[in-house]
Structure 1
């Protein structure tokens, strides 16, 4: 193997990936800010935000997963220089994202009674209920934003969504601060203030993105003359046929992690808070893999459009290698600092929280050691999924992810977490098993598919 043919692709891959990574970290920053500010109110409030966000993550996964169908279609049309197809895909995709956003909001609000059946602490459920209502509403602008983002990503213009997300973060930090703590004349709303801060910032995110793209000379022509008369069932079906399995793939993984939150909650609020801390850390590093996944999707879509399958395989392997290097680095950080990182999310100066904090730190530090190992599996599976989406191969990967996460991962988490002394650590070992299975079988799928495509087009 000539390593240089892969490493020479690193610089272009990083140029495409870094705005996506920073944008994803911007999304995560919204959650981190919520947890950091709410964590100062107490462990019950932190657990309530964790429980509430477990519902939101499910809706968000559907929206993000579905919207990824737009990127490979745009990238393929871009390779063919087909402006009409780019514009049509964008308009149809944006319409479907708007409809899905409204549907997901209604679905999450209606699903709140499930919390009462989940063996969660009563005080946590009481605080989480109004929080869910507002943050669920914020999913409408988030999913619409995804329509804009996937469109610009498909044209290899990944930095505009990053700008919009960071402008939204400035808005979010301000409103979170004044509404949670009640400063400068604003009402003191506690975790409800965090929810309202999220809603305001996500509405602004869509507004920023719309104007950034519409005012740009390269994008302006794709915004003209939107009309419902131009909507075609065949194009809607094409996006849905790609979007639905992609949404399911993401849903299967996110619901596995959500189940881990719920299982941790059933072990007690300190296990749930520790799970939330470790999940924030793992989610932050996962954003790098997500950035490389989008890069894989864009570049596979472009190579598919230009029918250059030899370059496609080299590009894909270079992205996989880059992901492994990054995830090994993060895994090492988790191992070295596993006893120190949990302190960042707790109010260590509050004497009433001393006992809770001590237990949370012990549990969270063990979870970070498991997270250090599954960084690599998690990175590989999401990047290979991105590459397969770029090739518009989504149905078989949907079945692979279901089996990996719900036939292998969840039963392992449930048994080790509830029926052994491992507790929360056992739950995370189950996550590792699911992610490793997904990584292995998705890579086998990609290798076979690309080998066949290369032979057919040689």
Structure 2
């Protein structure tokens, strides 16, 4: 559906998504501290403490939403100096103005989602996410082409559809969670607490490093879109197709990461360290198997996948096929590092992984990707080669960190 808009629209959406995720990803990472803390209080059945943590999470994310909304407008002054194709500037600006409003419902939804995950209630957010995805698809169909008396908005229809779907996510998660007695036990103690410095510090101690970790990683992918944009619209369009493709499998694999955080966080609170280590390794092995299957499928169907997005530009299709091979190989390591990050977060180890992320992506991946793509004229293939190397280094360092840390915990106890 989006592919029918052409490579110019794909390029505009790619840059818009790059900016959007650079700004919002820190806020999403901040929310991850909630699931760890809620998993701990759930093990102790301390409902009042859990309610206070949830309340303070709402405060933090609402304030972050305001800051991130303002950051979009600051970016508009920077955009003309980034060396991007001039003919997509105004389209990108219009797209971002609409989609930035979704910061507010999305960030509040994230607190509900992390709260739910901390209680080991995975299905509510899973169901709501799929329903909102369906809503997104329907409104994309209606807004892009103007069916059934809806206005024909072109690629701006994607932004409006996204906004509507994210509002529906927030409304849906609230009503669905309220059906669970476990949730109502916490909501019973939910009231206006002003703010408590102790609980803010608890959330921020885990949330800030987690947010920075996600920021370093995801902003590297977003910056890779700008590097691809310097190589031309066709390179950028191909890059966007592959980003869209690998993002889908990464989101599926992130489910293993969530499970690792919750299960390990629970065992950590109960001081059951032997089970903690065993659970971590078992989830890592499952993630490796899953991502290996995904990688093989992408490589096998690489000649057909580009036509799902675009079918009238042979150059874009040719570039996309080559990038898919590189991305398929390295997404296995991306899945591994995602799971280990979740496992380490469960034992509240967030500072070292944050610096590993910074080193792997901003010291290794982006400089090498820039050198390959711009100076060696490799285009988006060079960008993905740099990203792949950074991902591989990150996964090796993180798995070594998890192994050493869990061994130390076992020896001490």
Contact 1:109–1:132 under 8 Å retained in 2: no
CA distance in 2, matches of 1:239, 1:405: 26
Measured after TM superposition, the shift of residue 382 of structure 1 is 1.0
Measured after TM superposition, the shift of residue 453 of structure 1 is 0.9
Q: Which range moved further: 439-448 or 357-366? A: 439-448
Gaps of 5+ in 1: 1-35, 349-353
Contact 2:51–2:190 under 8 Å retained in 1: no
Q: In the alignment, which residue of structure 2 is the partner of 1:364?
A: 320
CA distance in 2, matches of 1:369, 1:113: 37
Q: In the alignment, which residue of structure 2 is the partner of 1:424?
A: 380
Q: In the alignment, which residue of structure 1 is the partner of 2:292?
A: 328
Q: In the alignment, which residue of structure 2 is the partner of 1:93?
A: 57
Q: In the alignment, which residue of structure 1 is the partner of 2:234?
A: 270
Contact 1:334–1:371 under 8 Å retained in 2: no
Contact 2:29–2:214 under 8 Å retained in 1: yes
Q: In the alignment, which residue of structure 1 is the partner of 2:198?
A: 234
CA RMSD, Structure 1 to Structure 2 (Å): 1.3
CA deviation profile, 1:64-118 (whole Å, cap 9, x unmatched): 2110000111111111222222222111112212221222121123212222111
Measured after TM superposition, the shift of residue 311 of structure 1 is 0.6
What is the count of residue pairs matched by the alignment? 413
Matched, 1:131 2:95: yes
Structure-1-length-normalised TM-score: 0.88
SS at match of 1:68: helix
Measured after TM superposition, the shift of residue 176 of structure 1 is 2.0
Contact 1:43–1:270 under 8 Å retained in 2: yes
Matched, 1:255 2:219: yes
Matched, 1:404 2:360: yes
Gaps of 5+ in 2: none
Q: Which range moved further: 65-74 or 105-114? A: 105-114
Matched, 1:308 2:272: yes
Query: Which of 293, 296, 309 matches 2:257?
Result: 293
Contact 2:27–2:64 under 8 Å retained in 1: yes
SS at match of 2:283: helix
Structure-2-length-normalised TM-score: 0.97
CA distance in 2, matches of 1:49, 1:190: 12
Matched, 1:374 2:321: no
CA distance in 2, matches of 1:105, 1:163: 27
Q: In the alignment, which residue of structure 1 is the partner of 2:24?
A: 60
Aligned pairs for 1:176-187 (under 5 A) are 176-187=140-151
CA distance in 1, matches of 2:73, 2:410: 47
Matched, 1:174 2:128: no
Q: In the alignment, which residue of structure 1 is the partner of 2:34?
A: 70
Query: Which of 380, 383, 394 matches 1:438?
Result: 394
